[in-house]
Structure 1
Amino acid sequence: MDWHWESFVFTIVSFFALYLLLNKYAFGPLFKIMEERRRMLSDQITSTEQNRREAEKLMAEQQQALQAVRKEAQDIIEQARKTSSKQGEEIVDLAKSEAARLKDEALKDIDNEKNKAVAALRNQVSAMSVMIASKIIEKQVDEKSQEQLVEHYLKEVGGNR
């Protein structure tokens, strides 16, 4: 095997020329595309990580808001319970006072009617006593006639009721 230095130099020059052409037209654009892809993937990973952090932050805020709303709802329910209980007690107290007032009025009405009946009875007894006395004076009768006369007037008064 012979070694020719011209071929060796020609091969090396050809190799460098091919390398320069490949570097300019093939490797340069290829490396540029690969670098853009690496940058794009890096940006997407960063963006995805940032979106994940924002989503976690929003989720935490929503959970806090939900807890605040739940607490507020519990407070509203508790307030409604207290208010309804208080209103129920007020209604019962009002009904009791109204019942007591009606009872007092009824007792006063009964008392007034009783007093009126007693006064009317006294008037009738007075009137009867006067009539009996006048009849007795007119007749000057014995005791038996007097008893019959009193019973007769009592029956008349009893029949007028």
Structure 2
Amino acid sequence: MFTSSLVLGAVEKAHFNTGDVIFQLLMFIILLALLKKFAWGPLMGIMKQREEHIVSEINAAEESRLEAKKLLEEQRSLLKEARTDAQGLIESAKKQGDVQREEIIATARTEAERIKEAAKLEIEQQKEKAVAAIREQVASLSVLIASKVIEKELSAADQDKLINEYIQEAGEER
């Protein structure tokens, strides 16, 4: 019962005042126009600017990524080229080192042969000098012995003794 009286009371109060409804509708339309002009327009402008900014940032990031990828490929290419150049330089240095080693060995062998020939020549000269000196000594000893023999007549034992003495004298003179 209580509920039915409430419904009846609401129906009695629910009659429409068309002037109020039209006024409220007009105010709502004015409010919408004002909101559109002062709130919705600037808000949409800000949103549009934000969207454009985000799109430009995405494009810039994509360009940066492509640039970085390009630079990475260039760096890899340069690194590969540098490695190839370094390997070439190493190979060239090895070849040059081998050539220099062979030249040094050949020069050392030539120098050793020259020194060896010079030593042989000097040995031969020294030998000839020694033989000449011995011949000279033998000749002077022979002359000395002959002069001694001529001075006195000696027996075989005296001759041996005399020869040994002169040989010792010749050895002491040297």
Task: Give your verdict on TM over 0.5.
Answer: yes
**Identical amino acids, percent of aligned pairs:** 40
Structure 1 Cα separation of the partners of residues 22 and 157 of structure 2:
183
Report the equivalent of 2:41.
28
> What stretches of structure 1 of length at least 5 have no aligned partner?
none
Q: Deviations over 1:67-125 (max 9, x none)?
A: 22222223223333333333333333333322222222222111111100101111111
Aligned mates of 1:2, 1:139 — CA distance in 2: 193
Residue 93 (structure 1) aligns with? 106
| SS across alignment from 1:99 | helix
Q: 2:96 corresponds to which residue?
A: 83
* Deviation sequence 1:19-71 (CA, Å, 0-9, x none): 22222112111111111111111111111111111111111111222222222
**Mapped partners of 2:78, 2:64: distance in 1:** 20
Name the larger-Rg structure: 2
Instruction: Measure how far apart 1:13 and its partner are.
Output: 3.8
Q: Where does residue 104 of structure 1 map in the other structure? A: 117
2:165 alignment partner in structure 1? 152
Q: Which TM-score applies when normalising by structure 1?
A: 0.81
Q: Kindly report which structure 2 residues correspond to 1:9-48, keeping only aligned pairs within 5 A, or say none.
A: 9-48=22-61
CA RMSD of aligned residues (A): 2.5
Moved more, 91-100 or 110-119: 91-100
For structure 2, list consecutive stretches of 5 or more residues without a partner in the other structure: 1-13
Give distance in 2, aligned partners of 1:145 and 1:30.
152
Higher relative contact order (CA 8 A, sep 6+): 2
Aligned to 1:126: 139
2: distance between equivalents of 1:148 and 1:22?
A: 157
Q: When the two structures are superposed, what TM-score results if normalisation uses the length of structure 2? A: 0.76
Residue 61 (structure 1) aligned with residue 77 (structure 2): no
Alignment partners' CA distance in 2, 1:152 and 1:124:
14
